[in-house]
Chain A
Amino acid sequence: MTSKFIDRNLYQSRPYGVGIAGVGKYLPDEIITNSQVELWTNLYPGFIQEKTGINNRRRAGPNEAASEMAVRAARDAISMAGISPDELGLIITCSFTGDYVYPAVSCKIQELLGAKNAGAFDIMANCTGFQVGLSIASDRMMIDPAINYVLVIGVALQSRYINWSDPNSAIYFGDGAGAAVLKRVPAEYGFIAHEITSNGKAFEAVRMRGGGSSFPLNNTNINQGLQFYELNGIEVWKQVIQFQPKVIAKSLEKIDKSTSDVDFFILHQANLRLIEYLMAKMRQPMKKTILNMMEYGNTADASIAIALCDAVCEGRLIRDDLVVISGVGAGFIFGSSVLKWY
């Protein structure tokens, strides 16, 4: 059932589309194995693999900064796009683990890249951040013809916010960065629909309170461990199974398509079991998606960006493919973008 309020001509009569010109990723060198995490969290051997499909995750070095990780991924994306940094009109970084609480890490990235003509700002939509970033970037490019290229980055340096003895959070997360450069493409290609929905009723389900204005980092709050992630796993899967299939369907309805029309799904890499469930629920074979959480864990904002990079580099996306990019983030925020691959 499609909405009568949607003007499909909007997608069919546009002067140009916005697609992806280049991708990049960066993963820190240090590998943290399940055996290590199971020892630290007092879980039985094999627990993490069984529950999540994750085998390893990466951890940034003690002197590594989120901005440096982001720049490494960004340089690869810029290189693949065949442009120079000063051709970028905008940099959007999706992160909740930037170098400082403020200012926006995007501004540091702009400086490190030498992207002197780019505006730069951050967005926070947690694990669906990169999808939200892509939607903002493509919308900006559709509205402002002066912007020729936009760099969207997802970066997560989470290991410093993990209590490595807490099995609720320590088993999932890893550090990493991914990036994409967007450019204009022929009108029939590129992003053709986006959908973002939220459910604030689950606001407390996944959170890091310390450092927020309600819980400043004083001794009292630090002694309570508020500087670490807190995660209610049961609530997460309830949110995912209730709302992610809906947001994907809604994005496709906007262009009179359904999941059976989709050639490839790039999904947030939170948990292999959830992705297996989503694909089964959508009656889609697993070969139509990409998996990398086995080696990288859940890299939050970087997750979709890294999966997109892997899909491109493995030749999984070909011209004319209908591609869905979808994620779920704390808040909760659900997002889905549809593009025709150029």
Chain B
Amino acid sequence: MSNEFKLKEVLNKIFKIEISSINDETSVDTVDIWDSLKHLNLVIALEEAFNITFTEEESVEIMSYPLIKAILNEHGVII
């Protein structure tokens, strides 16, 4: 399974959005149910899926699909 698909699966599971509709526009501003509670779940789910640990600052920053990809890249997860 590619890292990109794995990431989209996490977003699908947390936000109930179709994998095919996930793109660079996907963010806290475009996903209605992306609230603080769902965001906490997202942080933990990404850490578990990619076996990484976000810093406290990164945990707040990952508010969009492009930002998630960028920060995952910094942890060596190439998407």
Q: Is B40 an interface residue (CB 8 A)?
A: yes
Q: List 6 A-B contacts (CB under 8 A).
A: A50-B37, A241-B40, A241-B59, A242-B57, A273-B37, A280-B44
Residues from chain B with a CB closer than 8 A to the CB of A233 are 36
Shortest C-beta distance, B23 to chain A (Å), equals 25
Q: Which residues of A contact B60 (CB under 8 A)?
A: 238, 241-242
In the docked arrangement, what's the CA distance between A281 and B36, Å? Answer: 15
The CA-CA distance from A238 to B44 in the complex, in Å, is 15
| Contact of B40 (CB < 8 Å), options: A50, A242, A246, A274 | A274
Q: Are B40 and A237 in contact, CB atoms less than 8 angstroms apart?
A: yes
- Known contacts A238-B60, A242-B59, A276-B40; 10 additional CB pairs below 8 A are A237-B40, A241-B59, A242-B56, A242-B57, A243-B56, A246-B56, A277-B40, A277-B44, A280-B44, A281-B43
A51 within 8 Å of B by Cβ? yes
A234 within 8 Å of B (CB atoms): yes
Does A225 lie at the interface of the complex (its beta carbon under 8 Å from any beta carbon of B)? no
In chain B, residues 32-79, which have Cβ atoms closer than 8 Å to a Cβ of chain A?
35-37, 39-40, 43-44, 47, 56-57, 59-60
A239 nearest CB neighbor, chain B only: B60
B68 CB to nearest A CB, Å: 16
Q: Please, which residues of chain B bring their CB within 8 A of the CB of A28?
A: none
CA distance A50 to B56 in the complex (A): 24
- In the complex, what residues of B have CB within 8 A of residue A241's CB? 40, 43, 56, 59-60
Digitize A265-282: 1 where CB-to-B-CB distance is under 8 Å, 0 elsewhere.
Answer: 000000001101100110
Closest approach, in angstroms, between the C-beta of B2 and any C-beta of chain A? 26
Interface size, B (range): 10 to 19
Contact A51 B56 (CB under 8 A): no
Within 8 A of B (CB), among A30-60: 50-51
With known contacts A51-B37, A237-B36, A277–B57 Cβ distance under 8 A:
no
Q: Which of chain A's residues 252-295 have a Cβ closer than 8 Å to chain B?
A: 273-274, 276-277, 280-281
The minimal Cβ–Cβ distance linking B66 to chain A, given in whole angstroms, is 20
| Minimal beta-carbon separation of A328 from chain B (angstroms) | 13
User: In the complex, how many residues of chain A place their beta carbon closer than 8 angstroms to a beta carbon of chain B?
Assistant: 17
Q: How far apart are the CA atoms of A240 and B37 in the complex, in Å?
A: 13
Q: Which one of A51, A246, A277 has the greatest number of beta carbons of chain B within 10 Å?
A: A277
A260 to B: closest C-beta gap in Å: 13
Top 5 A-B pairs, shortest CB-CB distance: A277-B40, A237-B36, A242-B56, A280-B44, A273-B37
Query: Which residues on the A side are within 8 Å of B36 (C-beta)?
Result: 233-234, 237
Task: Tell me, in angstroms, the Cα distance from A234 to B40 when the chains sit together.
Answer: 12
Shortest A242–chain B CB gap in Å is 4
Whether A331 sits at the interface, judged by CB under 8 Å, is no
Q: How far is the CA of A286 from the CA of B35 in the complex (A)?
A: 23
Central interface residue in B40, B44, B60, by most chain A CB within 10 Å: B40
In the complex, whether A89 has a CB less than 8 A from a CB of chain B is no
B56 adjacent to A245 (CB under 8 Å) = yes
Q: Which residues does chain A contribute within 8 Å of B37, judged by CB atoms?
A: 50-51, 273
**B1-51 residues at the A interface, CB under 8 angstroms:** 35-37, 39-40, 43-44, 47
* Closest beta carbon of chain A to B45's beta carbon, Å: 10
Check A273–B56 contact: CB distance below 8 A: no
Measured in the bound complex, the distance between the Cα atoms of B59 and A29 in whole Å is 40
Q: How many Å lie between the Cα of A245 and that of B54 in the bound state?
A: 12
Instruction: For A237, list chain B residues within 8 Å (CB).
Output: 36, 39-40
Q: Which residue of A lies closest to B54 (CB)?
A: A281
A237 CA to B56 CA, complexed, in Å: 12
Distance A116 CA – B18 CA, assembled complex (angstroms): 68
Q: Within 8 Å CB of B57, what residues of A?
A: 242
Q: Which residue of A lies closest to B57 (CB)?
A: A242
Cβ–Cβ < 8 Å partners of A238 in chain B: 60
Cα-based distance from A246 to B39 in the complex (angstroms) = 19
